[in-house]
Structure 1
């Protein structure tokens, strides 16, 4: 009968040491290995945003870019979620003292139902009263939604009435951003000098943190300040420039003259697809302190 071969003390010690070494290495690997990056893709933006500005305001300057990025990423956060809006937006908005509740809150998850209906996805935005220093930017932003429709869309009085009451009514924001004194102004976009031309390299959203080192102090909806939706004089001037003959306040919003049919006001607002491109488009970073 073959005798059993028991391990020697040396063999046992060697095996024990090897096991301990493996455990230590495994512990180090599990502790120091970073978590895999999020696979959540940045969602496609399914609407068009067209900016304009009062005389003397250049939309391609760094201060105006910060205002544009704040409003666009705020709009996007309503349906994509704050963490899946513009890069850096979640951090930039985290400590805001006032925030537009229509865009959710600073920790809102994605809510695709917050997207405007397909026929109301052309957003017109207008910057007024832009003031900027080394560490402070503030501006007033006038807003409206326009119908972007197929050419063969049939306008009905009901469509005109519903859209007029719920979607077209203007709204105004006051936006403020700040940054630490003596820090750089951050990385800006290349200027978009062709409002009517789509640039094939343009991005729906920046692929860099357009905010840093700036943070958003507040986004104030003026409805909560004066119980109106956009009657500030500078916004009324913009409306009347876009629609000559329009008169009244946002709460007595009526069509420009001469419109003689029930659907004429809706038809004056509507734009047929494909419509204009975004302006300014996000064309990639130009560099720090640009």
Structure 2
């Protein structure tokens, strides 16, 4: 049973997952499909169920909500972009770049959360979509919840003014920087290059602009984090798209895809495992067609429980 001060993971089980042409323009991680839609959905469902099973085997509290066929939301498997949940009872809804991703804010998902957790404040930023201003949740920024710091790289999907507004409302200090991939393209989501854990951070330092690099590193080290540096190539294999999770007994794990794990050097694996065990699972179909990986599939729920279970 989940303790009231630990983490629940919200995951959306896909029903019509597939390549989303509306996001491909500024998501360099997506690849055009090589299979038909039915095959992609079937394989994505297999990958989804497998990683949920592994998380639950380690006593991690996973709340799975089945997606609905209509409206069609090909990226619904990535809920961390449109919603975030916080220990003070806040639920934040975010403005999404792609029009069909805005449809992911389904009442059934929110109702499922509210049936189990106490939402004491709703912050709805989604109306900013009308003005072409976007902030895609914990994809756009990476939270250090303990030290109340939000790290974010600027991109078409990350409006700096909106970031500063949500940080003010939630009590975080924003650390904003520029970052680009090896081809010079702005990185679309901070969480593909950076994972902040309790005692360490996995970071593609080389992606950060030279003007911003020292400031970001100094903030991380000042908060007591060991920096585990990854390369551009490892980032392309989703080695930055990881999430540290906590199980019902308070034990930490680092969750990633098998592609990400396979890209790591032995010394990186040894260092990460000195902090916590690693859980990895194959997500090749989801990564290739969706341009996101393990971290994107998990929305952390820190809301107070509706009823305290003894």
The TM-score normalised by the length of structure 1 is 0.28
> With CA pairs under 8 Å and 6+ residues apart, which has the higher RCO, 1 or 2?
2
Return the TM-score normalized by structure 2: 0.26
- From the CA coordinates, give the structure whose radius of gyration is larger: 1
